[in-house]
Structure formats: structure tokens, C-alpha cells
Structure 1
Amino acid sequence: MTLPPHFTTLDLSGRFILNTSLSDSAEQILEQQGVADAALRHAIAHGVLSFNHYTSDDGEQHIWVDQELEGRCLTADEDRALDWRERARDDPLVGPVVGRIRRVKTHALEPPFLRAGWTPDTRKYGVLNYAVYSDTKRSGRTWAVTETWGIEEIAGMRHFARHIEFTGPDGKDVERHLVYDYVGSV
């Protein structure tokens, strides 16, 4: 389902499901992050991603992220402050990580893949820029991800999308474009 017309990056609250026909496969990234189980990778790709985007009492923006996996009880949820401060956590899917998130104008991003294709309102208000890397000392893995989250228009329909730049253990970069269908409010 297309996004409601009022939906912008100022409030990404909603529930989404990956549109596999419009998206690149994230299999290679998940495998290099340590998700070896093919059934679990399938569950991740077909689960529901929910965001609750809000401003706390102290005026700080947050986004609460919940990922319900298809056919599994495992969920990954986290409250992220959009302040670009690094925070360590144990992710139930990929293990110990360090991440940070912010709102940023697209012109400030490299590589160009992270800033391309967004709607005019997304460029105006900024994308959410999420950066996360493995806590190598605790996980034994080495990888890094930089993502941008925003709105794209594809075939005349607005969709939530993520642009992912992944650097794997071999030091090689992989770019992936994920497009989501809106399935309702949270």
C-alpha cells in the first residue's frame, strides 16, 4: 500500500512490510552479519517493521523501532534518540553492535547512493541517517552499515525506503535499496 499523502520524514510512525519485488536482496548482508540460518533471513525479509517517531518531554526526537519476524517469536525493538551519539546494545539478530542516528540533509551524505532518489519533501526535511557497526571485541565479527531512511516515489506511488551501504568483513562495500509497503499506523 502506498504511503498516506501527509506522511513525511518528520514523522515516520507506521507499520511496513518489505516489497520484495521493488527491493534488492539483503541476504548477503545478513549472512555477513552472522545471520547464518536461511529460514531466519527469510523471516526477517517478510516480517513487519514498525516505527513510533516521537518527541520526548525534554524536546529530543526519538524513533522506536520494532521488527516482528514472520513465523518467529523473536523481535528486535529499540528506542533510538536522534542525537548522533554512539550507543552500544545487544541486537537479538546480529549480536553486539554500536549505533547512532540523526536527521540530516541529503547533500551532506557520501556516497551519492545514500542521497539519491528521495522525494522533494524528504530532501527538504532530511533523511534519517543510521550508522551501526559490529562490536568486534564482543562479537568476533567486523562489519559496518550506513543507512538513509526516507520517502521515494516509485511508479507514481510514495514508499518508505532505506538505502544501505554495507562494508563486510572483507572490506568490500555492498549497496542495497529496500522499499517498503505501508500496512497501517502503530
Structure 2
Amino acid sequence: MLLLGTHLVFQLTPSLKRCWLGGEPEISINICPYLVSRGIKGGIRGEGMMPSRFLYICICSTHSQTLLTMACPDTVTLKNLTGKHRLNKGLSDGIDETLKLQGVGYLKRTAIANFSLTLEFSQHTDDGIEHIDIKQTLSGGFKAPTENIVMDGEEHPKNDDLFGPLIGQTRRVKVDELDIDFLKEEWTEDTLEDGVIYGVVKSDTEKTGKDWVIHLVWGFTIKEGVRKFARRYRFTTKERSEPIDVKLYYDYVE
């Protein structure tokens, strides 16, 4: 689902004349300087004026419009994870609260909330160990860092551009091996048969002073009658007494 009336911030280049959100939907956009003094609809309060090389873009409409999406084919599974999958923000939970607790600033959180993210997967096995490479693309064709996941169950340190130093580990497990009930729910039969992709990502506390931990599961689910790639995660930190549970759903693009 694409909700029109979205506000975006893009870096202006000579070739940037207009912005398409995944293909070429027939919607108009207005472009004007990104000014703060008008609040969210004209900028972001308290951050001063954005440089002139940035544009504030509002996709104009008086109502929300749903763009038709394809069901993810049955041939795409956790044993054959291919294709492009775009985050459906209309169906997914918000992640602003977890980002804030992870130390992500207001400007970056606002940009993340307004951009649409597409994941392109490729999967291979090397010396008996599964690897998943994820090419990430933001709205308008902007590239995000490629993620390379080694599914060996070992801890791998990483210096992440957004979260700083962190430690992650990923492996394939059967659902009944999971300790968190929330992560076990709503998966398709093929996901249950293949085993979910389960990861634990945590901040490198010694380097960051942060203590957050994410337990994350990937799989396929049926949402509103349509088969979709999905992620679920539970976020915990000592800064908050209760965990935060998040569901993310992705539309199959190709």
C-alpha cells in the first residue's frame, strides 16, 4: 500500500527531476525548498534550515490510494530466497520507537519513516554454510549498504552505518526451537518445513554504551489473503521495562 500525502527529503542532483516510488505510479509531486519553520509539513522543527541542495517533496493527494501487489510465488521460499520485496508500511508496524532507543537521531528517523525500502535477495552455499546477500534500495533509486549474512550461528562483529558497532548471529531453526512465542506465529507451511531464519543482533555495549538486543525471524506469511515475505522481531533494552514486538510485511515486486 502506498499512502499518498507522504513527505520525503531527497538530495538534489542535476538529474533529479522527479521521484518514483518503485516503478512509475501516476501521481504528481510538488517540489519546494525544505523549510523548517512550518513544522512537519514544511520541514522538521528545531533542526534549522536544510541546505539548498536538499528538496522537500510532498506526494499530493487528498486521499490514500492502494497500489495492487502480487502475491509472492510459492517457488520463492527460505531455501530459494530470491527476488525483490518492498516494505509495505501500511501493513507493517512502526519502528520509530525502537530506532530512538537504539540511538538514531530525529532527522534520520524521519527520513527512514518516509523512504520506502526494497530488498533484493540472493542466496548461495559456500563450504556447506548458507549465505544471504541483500541489496537494499531506497525510494527514488537511492542505494543503501548491501548486507551480507553468514548463517553459521557464530557471532560476527560489524560497524553499522546507522547503529554503530554491533554483533550479530544468524542460523536456520525450526519454529519449535524458538523461545519467544511472538516469533512463532503466522508462518506458512513451507516456512515451518524449511525452518525460519533466526537472528540475534545486539549493540556492542563495550563500544557504544547501549544494551539493546533484537531477536529477529524471517519467513513467509499470508496477509490479507496474499502470500508475503515477512519479518518479526522482539526488541529489548534495560531502558524500557517491556519488550517491543514488531511485524514487518513486504510486497513481492519481481
Out of 150-159 and 66-75, give the one that drifted further: 66-75
The answer to whether the Cα contact below 8 Å between 1:151 and 1:158 also exists between their aligned partners in 2 is yes
1:60-79, Cα deviation, whole Å (9 max, x unpaired)? 21011232233585622222
* Structure with the higher fraction of residues in strand conformation: 1
**In structure 2, which of residues 87, 100, 113 is the aligned counterpart of residue 42 of structure 1?**
113
- 1:158 matched to 2:227? The reply is yes
Q: For the residues of structure 2 that align with 1:166 and 1:68, how far apart are their CA atoms?
A: 24
Q: For the residues of structure 2 that align with 1:142 and 1:40, how far apart are their CA atoms?
A: 24
1:28 equivalent in structure 2: 97
The answer to whether the Cα contact below 8 Å between 1:75 and 1:92 also exists between their aligned partners in 2 is no
- 1:176 matched to 2:243? The reply is no
1:46-89, Cα deviation, whole Å (9 max, x unpaired)? 12122212112x22210112322335856222221111000000
Out of 3-12 and 95-104, give the one that drifted further: 3-12
1:117 equivalent in structure 2: 186
Q: What is the deviation of 1:169? A: 4.2
1:18 equivalent in structure 2: 87
Aligned with 1:88: secondary structure? strand
| Aligned partner letter, 1:134 | S
Q: Give the TM-score normalised by structure 1.
A: 0.90
Q: For the residues of structure 2 that align with 1:113 and 1:16, how far apart are their CA atoms?
A: 23
Q: For the residues of structure 2 that align with 1:102 and 1:20, how far apart are their CA atoms?
A: 27
Out of 110-119 and 133-142, give the one that drifted further: 133-142
- 1:77 matched to 2:77? The reply is no
2:122 equivalent in structure 1: 52
1:124-178, Cα deviation, whole Å (9 max, x unpaired)? 1110001100011222322110011000011221000001100134143100111
Aligned with 1:150: secondary structure? strand
The aligned length equals 182
- 1:108 matched to 2:170? The reply is no
Gaps of 5+ in 2: 1-69
The answer to whether the Cα contact below 8 Å between 1:34 and 1:94 also exists between their aligned partners in 2 is yes
Larger radius of gyration between Structure 1 and Structure 2:
2
Q: For the residues of structure 1 that align with 2:237 and 2:86, how far apart are their CA atoms?
A: 25
Q: For the residues of structure 2 that align with 1:110 and 1:154, how far apart are their CA atoms?
A: 24
1:90-130, Cα deviation, whole Å (9 max, x unpaired)? 11111110000001000111211101100011001110001
Q: For the residues of structure 2 that align with 1:174 and 1:64, how far apart are their CA atoms?
A: 27
| Aligned partner letter, 1:39 | T
Percent pairwise identity: 36
Gaps of 5+ in 1: none
Q: For the residues of structure 1 that align with 2:145 and 2:122, how far apart are their CA atoms?
A: 14
| Aligned partner letter, 2:104 | V
Q: Give the TM-score normalised by structure 2.
A: 0.67
Two-structure CA RMSD over aligned residues (Å): 1.7
| Aligned partner letter, 2:117 | G
Out of 170-179 and 68-77, give the one that drifted further: 68-77
| Aligned partner letter, 1:41 | I
**In structure 2, which of residues 78, 95, 101 is the aligned counterpart of residue 9 of structure 1?**
78
Out of 60-69 and 173-182, give the one that drifted further: 60-69
Highest RCO, 1 vs 2 (Cα 8 Å, sep ≥ 6)? 1
